[in-house]
Amino acid sequence: MIACVDVDYREAGAIAACVCFQSWSDDTPASESVIQISDVEPYQSGQFYRRELPGILAVLKSLPDLPQVIVIDGYVWLGDRQPGLGAHLYEALGRRVAVIGVAKTRFVRAEPVEAVLRSRSRSPLYVTAVGMDVAEAAGHIRAMHGPYRIPTLLKRVDQLSRGQEAVRSHGH
């Protein structure tokens, strides 16, 4: 199983969402999970993971099993092997699950990073990874379903975390 996760913040709390699927080319989720989080750390520059990680871990706990790969909105590495959100998630899960970071904007020092162009977009997605080679991770993101820059299921998890669409349950 593969999972995409995202967290969106409100004035009070946050919503964490997870979309699970079987194959990189899937166009619909096998399951979806959305949870409310009432206690959220304040934003601290350079410490983004402290705010985001608890929500991601909470939504992952709602799954019957840990996925083999988790895709996050953000970076795994920030540069000079400085851990980003993805590296912190990898450690929190005991290094048992590969984590792929997909970012829409280039973080100058992030490395290793691979720019992925999808469809006819001239703006790449920036892919980083831990637990798998970054080139393999980039290939997976390239293979994801969807005619646009943002793959269908990454867009879906973003919509769920923002509360923009009613939750569809597809079982596990």
- Residues 120-167 have pLDDT tens digits of 889 999 999 999 999 999 999 999 999 999 999 999 999 999 987 644
The answer as to whether 47 is a domain residue is: yes
The answer as to whether 65 is a domain residue is: yes
The answer as to whether 170 is a domain residue is: no
Cis? peptide before 112, omega within 30° of 0: yes
- What is the domain-level CATH number for residue 111? 3.30.2170.10
Q: Would you tell me how many other CB atoms lie within 10 Å of the CB of residue 158?
A: 17
Q: pTM to 2 decimals?
A: 0.90
Structure tokens at 66: 């840990």
The answer as to whether 143 is a domain residue is: yes
Q: What's the pLDDT score for residue 167?
A: 43
Closest CA to 107 of 84, 130, 140: 84
Number of domains into which the chain is organized: 1
The answer as to whether 20 is a domain residue is: yes
Name 13's Cβ contacts closer than 8 Å, sequence gap at least 6.
36, 37, 38, 39, 40
The answer as to whether 171 is a domain residue is: no
The beta strands (E) that lie in the chain are given as 2-9, 14-21, 31-37, 69-73, 77-79, 82-83, 98-103, 114-116, 125-130
> Distance between CA 150 and CA 148 in Å, rounded?
5
Instruction: Convert the pLDDT of each residue in 33-67 to its tens digit.
Output: 999 988 877 666 666 677 789 999 999 999 999 99
Q: Report the number of secondary-structure helices (H) and strands (E) in the chain.
A: 4, 9
Q: What's the pLDDT score for residue 169?
A: 39
Percentage above 90 pLDDT, the chain? 70
Range of the domain at 82: 2-162
The answer as to whether 38 is a domain residue is: yes
